Structure 1
């Protein structure tokens, strides 16, 4: 009989103190049970992961599962790279985090001829 192994982690973010242990399933559980370990992570960790990628990529994760459908909208980190004003406005309308801790916009310096 195999002994079940779990890992416990604690998350600490300098902007707000979070120390909440959670159990993460091992990759062998994914093969046997069909579940993925990433979906078991707390939202705070997923938000931290999203802080390293452009917001448009974080939004794309919403198609992965029902669990992920709105995770991006609660992330306190927003980063836009070469997107239109309309796209930024639409994203902000759908964003529901109570606080934004970082906001980045990267644009092209080239001007459009009218």
Structure 2
């Protein structure tokens, strides 16, 4: 099962980029791509994660797993983000033990979203 690492490429991190400047979120995405996706992880750029007041943001999700949104990220966090994504991919339910998460994932979590389970009666 593939895990998706969503990276907000429109995040401005409280800055107003000048004409022709790359947004901090797009720079974060480029830095993550440079580190490379771990096995079982797909890196997907997204337009907005609605965490605009929290700097650059990323999210991890996979079917049947808890999802997470992390904020206050920067290009310098790319290696830790990829390590956190690898740990998430290795956790069957998406819950990585707190002490084994990269420090930025322990301190900069914005949301934890339960897995969506579609019940047969809900589909009717």
* Same-fold status (TM-score > 0.5): no
More strand by share: 2
Q: TM-score, normalised by structure 2?
A: 0.29
